[in-house]
C-alpha cells in the first residue's frame, strides 16, 4: 500500500533554495538575485550643448528679445495715445468760442482784414482738411506757427521745455526722498505712525495751487527767504520744486511702506537674517532692491501728474516753462501754441512711462523672468 502510494503519487519537489530530507545543504543551488536594470539615462552621458552655445547666452538673447518686444509694443500704444490726444485737442479747441483772426487784428479790424487773416491761417478750409494738415504736421515735427508771435511753435516749446524738465526732475527727487523716508520709517516700526498719517492726509487734502500760494506767502512775502520775482535759476526753483514734489509724497510713502513690509516678511529675508547678515546689509541687498520696482512704476505715472500740476505751479511762481506758456496761449486764443503744448505733454507722458518700465526690468529680476516667458 505504501509502495503503491509512493509510486502513483510522487512527493512534490521542494521549492527552490530549500533542502529536502536527506539532501545536504551544500547540494542545494542558490538563486542569485539580479540587481535592478539601470536606465538609459543613468548609463548614457548627458549630451553637452553645442560648441559655442551656452545656456547663459540663450537666456540673454531671450531677455533681449523680450525687452525689444515690450518696447515696441509700448511705442505702438504710445503712438496711438498721441493720435487720440491730437484728435481730441483739435476738436475741443475748435468747439471753444472765439475768433483767432479777431484776436490778431484787434477789436476795430474791418471785415475785409479779418477775412484775409482767416485765409492766411487756412481757417476758411473745411474742418477735416485742417485736421489732416495739422495731424500730418504733428507726426513730421511741424507744429505750425504762433498766431500772436508769428514764430514756429516748436521753437517756442523748445525754449520752455528745459526749465520744465529741470523743475520736474527736482520735484521727483523731493517726493521720492521724503516719501521713501516716511515709508521706511513706518515699515521698520511695523505699525502705522500718527505723525506720518496726519502728514499724508494734510498733503492729500491741499491742492497744488493752494499749497503754492501758501508757500509763496509764507516763505516769499512773509519770511523773505525765497525770491518772489520771475526767474529760472536755482534760487527760484526751490519753492516750486518743493510744492510740486509734496503733492506726491503720500503715494510714495504708501508704496514704500507696503513694499518693504512685504519684503521684510518674505522667506529669503528671514534666511538672510538667520545667516547673520547685519541689518543695513539686509536692507541694502534684499529689501531696497525689491522696493525699487513699485517706486519706478509710480515715477512713470507721476509724469502725467506733473504735466497737470506744473501749469499751476509755474504760473504762481513765474517759472518760465511750458505750463506758463500754455496759460498765455489760452488767454490769447493762440491755438497752435496751445495744441503744441498738449502734444508735447502727451509725448512726455509716453516717454516717461517707457523709461520707467525699462528701468524696472533692469533693476527687478522678476521683470527679467517675465521677459523670457
Highest mean pLDDT among 86-100, 124-138, 297-311, 338-352: 338-352
The sign of the CA dihedral 187, 189, 195, 198 is positive
- Mean predicted confidence (pLDDT) in 33-49: 44
CA distance 99 to 103: 7
∠ Cα 318 237 174 (to 5°): 130
Tell me, what's the pLDDT at 369?
56
151-197: pLDDT as tens digits: 889 999 999 999 999 999 999 999 999 998 898 888 888 777 788 88
Burial of 156 (0-12, 13-18, 19+ CB in 10 A): buried
CA separation (Å) from 215 to 212, 298, 324?
Answer: 5, 25, 19
Sorted by sequence, the CB contacts under 8 Å of residue 302 that are 6+ apart come out as 172, 175, 248, 352
Residues in the chain: 373
244-300: pLDDT as tens digits: 999 889 899 888 888 888 877 778 778 877 877 777 777 777 777 777 878 888 888
86-133: pLDDT as tens digits: 888 888 877 776 677 776 777 777 778 878 877 777 777 788 888 888
365, pLDDT greater than 70: no
Tell me, what's the pLDDT at 178?
92
CA distance 365 to 282: 17
CA distance 370 to 373: 5
Domains defined along the chain, listed by start? 160-372 (1.10.3720.10)
What pTM does this model have?
Answer: 0.72
Percent of all residues in the chain with a pLDDT value above 70, rounded to a whole number:
77
Three cell numbers at 319?
Answer: 517759472
Helix or strand (DSSP H, E) at 32: none
Give the count of beta carbons closer than 10 Å to the beta carbon of residue 354: 17
Amino acid at each position: 500500500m505504501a509502495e503503491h502510494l509512493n509510486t502513483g503519487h510522487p512527493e512534490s519537489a521542494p521549492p527552490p533554495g530549500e533542502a529536502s530530507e536527506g539532501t545536504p545543504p551544500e547540494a542545494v543551488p542558490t538563486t542569485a538575485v539580479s540587481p535592478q536594470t539601470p536606465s538609459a539615462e543613468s548609463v548614457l552621458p548627458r549630451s553637452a550643448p553645442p560648441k559655442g552655445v551656452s545656456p547663459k547666452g540663450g537666456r540673454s538673447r531671450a531677455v533681449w528679445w523680450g525687452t525689444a518686444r515690450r518696447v515696441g509694443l509700448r511705442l505702438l500704444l504710445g503712438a496711438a495715445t498721441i493720435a487720440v490726444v491730437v484728435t481730441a485737442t483739435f476738436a475741443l479747441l475748435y468747439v471753444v468760442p472765439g475768433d483767432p483772426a479777431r484776436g490778431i487784428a484787434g477789436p476795430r479790424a474791418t471785415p475785409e482784414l479779418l477775412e484775409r487773416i482767416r485765409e492766411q491761417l487756412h481757417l476758411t478750409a473745411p474742418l477735416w482738411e485742417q485736421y489732416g494738415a495739422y495731424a500730418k504736421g504733428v507726426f513730421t515735427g511741424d507744429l505750425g506757427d504762433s498766431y500772436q508771435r508769428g514764430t514756429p511753435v516748436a521753437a517756442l516749446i523748445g525754449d520752455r521745455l528745459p526749465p520744465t524738465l529741470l523743475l520736474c526732475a527736482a520735484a521727483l527727487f523731493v517726493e521720492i526722498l521724503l516719501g521713501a523716508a516716511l515709508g521706511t520709517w513706518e515699515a521698520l516700526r511695523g505699525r502705522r505712525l500718527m505723525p506720518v498719517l496726519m502728514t499724508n492726509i494734510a498733503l492729500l487734502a491741499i491742492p497744488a495751487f493752494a499749497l503754492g500760494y501758501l508757500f509763496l506767502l509764507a516763505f516769499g512775502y512773509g519770511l523773505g527767504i525765497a525770491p518772489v520775482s520771475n526767474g529760472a535759476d536755482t534760487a527760484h526753483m526751490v519753492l516750486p520744486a518743493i510744492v510740486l514734489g509734496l503733492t506726491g509724497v503720500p503715494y510714495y510713502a504708501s508704496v514704500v511702506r507696503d513694499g518693504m513690509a512685504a519684503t521684510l516678511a518674505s522667506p529669503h529675508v528671514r534666511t538672510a537674517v538667520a545667516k547673520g547678515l547685519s541689518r543695513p546689509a539686509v536692507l541694502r541687498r534684499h529689501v531696497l532692491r525689491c522696493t525699487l520696482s513699485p517706486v519706478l512704476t509710480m515715477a512713470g505715472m507721476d509724469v502725467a501728474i506733473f504735466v497737470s500740476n506744473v501749469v499751476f505751479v509755474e504760473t504762481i511762481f513765474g517759472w518760465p516753462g511750458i505750463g506758463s506758456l500754455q496759460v498765455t496761449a489760452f488767454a490769447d486764443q493762440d491755438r497752435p501754441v496751445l495744441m503744441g503744448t498738449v502734444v508735447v505733454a502727451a509725448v512726455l507722458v509716453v516717454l516717461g512711462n517707457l523709461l520707467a518700465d525699462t528701468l524696472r526690468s533692469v533693476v527687478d529680476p522678476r521683470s527679467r523672468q517675465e521677459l523670457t516667458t
